[in-house]
Structure 1
Amino acid sequence: MDKYAQLLAEMTAAGTLGTEWRSAFERAPRSAFLPNAVWTPDPDEPTGYRRTTLAADPEGWWALANADDVVVTQVDDGTAIGPGVATSSASVPTLVAVMLRHLDVVDGHTVLDVGTGTGWTSALLCARLGDHNVTTIEVDPNLAAEAAHRLRAAGFAPTCAVGDGLAGWPLDAPYDRIHSTAAVQRIPLPWLRQTRPGGVIVTPWGTPYANAGLLRLTVGAPDAASHGRFVDAVSFMWMRAHRPDVPTAAPAAPTAPTHLSPSAIDPDLALETVHAAFAIGLRVPGVRYQHRWDPADPSTTYRIQLTDAAGSLATARHHRWQAPDAVRQSGPRRLWDEVTAARSWWLEDGRPDLTRFGVTVDPDGTQTVWLDDPDHPVT
């Protein structure tokens, strides 16, 4: 049994891959949609990635292709020089199977696949539903052209469009399902308007603090709200327009006064679990974190750094976090105070898993996140 067949057998035995999708995964192996050059994480490289090619390292390339792990296929949006940020990938097979299961398609359904990427999920949808029922859209014209070529070579012919997936693709609307392979911070209004009432949108969803939820949203009538729940914990690359700002260096010293204090909690608890981080992210809008330290003395300088887009900055030191100067905050918001308050709220509500949260989207696009039911919004 080859590695890919073994992977499918393991996914089937685990209940991840059902019989309704097994033949699609067999007809469209992930390896058929990977470029000849992929990117392997490597901390010794300046960008954090090492280029692995099928020609130079066939064993390494095939090991990546048939593993139950993500394969990075583009960094820095394809530019020659960049910070080393993964911007396109072939997703983890297990997660792909989970997302497709939540899509809950039946024969005859039409699907808009947002974020063509390599073309692999588009191929799986074609294998399950037929080419004529699948439309796929990709914002990057180079990725779109490569994916269309691979799809044709593998015997699939969905409608391939180039454009901003946030706008959907109205030419083939309405759809029974919309499937996104990139994370959003808000459900785009065009997706709602291009989905039939009762149809389903499945997309990764997150906040700048925690890109962690898989949302399954049932679309309401044109004059009614749409409701959905987070059904799993996943982390996907952002839609380009929804990417949080990523500082490449520490912010300049603040001109506003800096507030010094001990930390109310061990900074490790701000990211204790994916469920804690997800809940905190809902309560601290626009805030993202990074970890920073002085390489000369990482044990005592390791700290979490919080920033927003309006000039607020906070750092909390892990070493001696109860010292009077362990927390430094400046700007309009006290970001570390917000994070600690958000975690207290999560504790008081019984440490809810992210699957207890959901989203309501009103016809005008207003989005509300709630805990347990729409009558308990997260403010």
Structure 2
Amino acid sequence: MTDTATGLRLALADNLGSAGWREAVMTVPRELFLGQVVYRADGDRIDRWVPVRRAEMSPNDWLSLVYADQTWVTQVGGVLAKDAPEVVIGQPSSSSTLPSLVVLMLEAAGIDEGDKVLEIGTGTGYSTALMCARLGDKAVTSIEYDPEVAAAAERAISAAGYAPTCVVGDGLNGYAANAAYDRVISTCSVRVIPLPWLWQVRSGGTITTPMWGWMGGVAFAHLTVSDDGTASGRFRSEDLCFMTARAHLAPPRPPLITGLGQARLSRIDPAVLRNDTALWVAQLAAPQAQCSWGTDTTILVDVSTGSRADTRPDSAGGWVVHQHGPLRLWDAVEEAILIWQDAGSPHQSEFGLTIGTDRQRVWLGEPDGPGWQLPA
């Protein structure tokens, strides 16, 4: 089985095609980080998960699963795969991300020999071990929110022969004891950049993280910290996201009620929000809102203020929008979409983000271009 695992690691490293991380991928045994059980999705239901047990597979079949370039969910709704009954209903809360995406994140962060790294979200510990293999144990600090996930990761990291600084705690606070860092890399998505990350990175260092908002829009941020303590950078071209930091998840949404408030014709086709970048732009304009779609309606709800907006086709043509509450959600979304369309409907990579101690501003084109504030 050892020879089989070695061959599969070599094949995985070759398939990933990363010169900088090839040796680390060849060295780190991913099977240690998946434990004895993982989840697979059960058919077409996105909330139904079935455990896949190593004991019920041949050794070679299990290793083939381990070294597939695939994400394997290891916790659903707080239930670790090893503790799962036959079926678990819920949303994934921890996973071993597909290796190609792990390596993409490491490359996007520009991590190289000599760097001191803070990883937000240890997860299974596989990416932590890859960094240890390349940078050395002392260069890597990793923080995990969930104590059970953290304990399993630390056991796996130790079994693989590495000893980074592993911390159980809220990664949104960073880990000041080992600062300053050259790189902060987050394996969870955030709505805004936590200020402790900014404070714990040296001048010239970087912060790399996927970002996610309550409408579901995503972007991939890579920021450089300046001498004055601010940070700025453009979003990257890759469309990726990870599980969201638990403190940044959207609140429960109330029942959807449509047709409330004042009505007018919309200046944009609501279907544009089906476009990933358009959804990101809409989210910038109404960051507290959540978005839902019906058969012929688009609905926005802001839980904090009770504001609502819904659009539907108008019998005379076009789309009618109803808005209710203190915030005119569709007005804000509509204006942002029109600005984006006037600029040629560019991808998120044509946007950038500048953060300081008092505000975080997303801008289009250049830092002095049209912009929107992220929520405090």
Q: Among 298, 308, 313, which residue is 1:313 paired with? A: 308
Give, in whole Å, the separation in 2 of the partners of 1:271 and 1:149: 43
1:288 deviates by 2.0
* Deviation digits for residues 180-211 of structure 1 (CA, Å, limit 9, x no counterpart): 10111111111111111111111111322244
Change over 3 Å in CA distance of 1:130–1:27 after alignment to 2: same
Aligned to 1:275: 277
* Change beyond 3 A, Cα 1:323–1:61: farther
* Residue 257 to residue 307, structure 1, CA distance change in 2 (3 Å): closer
**Structure 1 residue 324 displacement after superposition:** 8.9
Segments of 5+ residues of structure 2 without an aligned counterpart are: none
Give the residue type in structure 2 aligned to 1:374. Answer: P
Deviation of 1:343 after TM superposition, in Å, equals 2.2
In 2: Cα distance, 1:64 partner to 1:308 partner: 42
Q: 1:311 to 1:130 in 2, by over 3 A?
A: same
Work out the CA distance in 1 between the residues paired with 2:168 and 2:368.
40
Q: By how many angstroms is 1:328 displaced?
A: 4.8
- 2:235 maps to 1:230: yes
User: In the aligned structure 1, how far is the partner of 2:242 from the partner of 2:66?
Assistant: 18
Number of residue equivalences: 359
| Post-superposition CA distance 1:68-125 (Å, at most 9, x none) | 3322211113388996121111123222111111222232211111100100110111
Aligned to 1:290: 292
Displacement of 1:167 in angstroms is 0.8
Aligned-partner residue type, residue 164 of structure 1? D
**Within-5 A mapping of 1:146-161:** 146-161=152-167
Checking the alignment, whether the CA contact within 8 Å between 2:129 and 2:157 is kept in structure 1 is yes
Could you tell me the TM-score, scaled by structure 1's length? 0.84
- C-alpha distance in structure 2 between counterparts of 1:261 and 1:43, whole Å: 42
Residues 46 and 276 (structure 1), Cα distance of their counterparts in 2 relative to 1, 3 Å cut: closer
Match of 2:340 in 1: 346
Render the CA deviation track for 1:236-279: whole Å, top value 9, x for unaligned.
111111112243x734x58x94445665544332122x222222
Letter matched to residue 13 of structure 2: L
Displacement of 1:4 = 4.9
TM-score (ref. length: structure 2): 0.85
Q: Secondary structure at the match of 1:339?
A: helix
Alignment partners' CA distance in 1, 2:57 and 2:310: 43
Q: What secondary structure, in the 3-state scheme, does the structure 2 residue paired with 1:196 have?
A: strand
SS of the counterpart of 1:155? coil
Give RMSD over aligned pairs.
2.9
* Other structure's SS at 2:56 match: coil
CA displacement at 1:62 relative to structure 2:
4.8
Secondary structure of the residue aligned to 2:222 is strand
State the secondary structure of the residue aligned to 2:283. Answer: helix
DSSP-derived class of the 1:88 partner: strand
Q: Is the 8 A contact 1:202 1:217 kept in 2?
A: yes
Q: Work out which of the residue numbers 109, 116, 138 in structure 1 matches 2:115.
A: 109
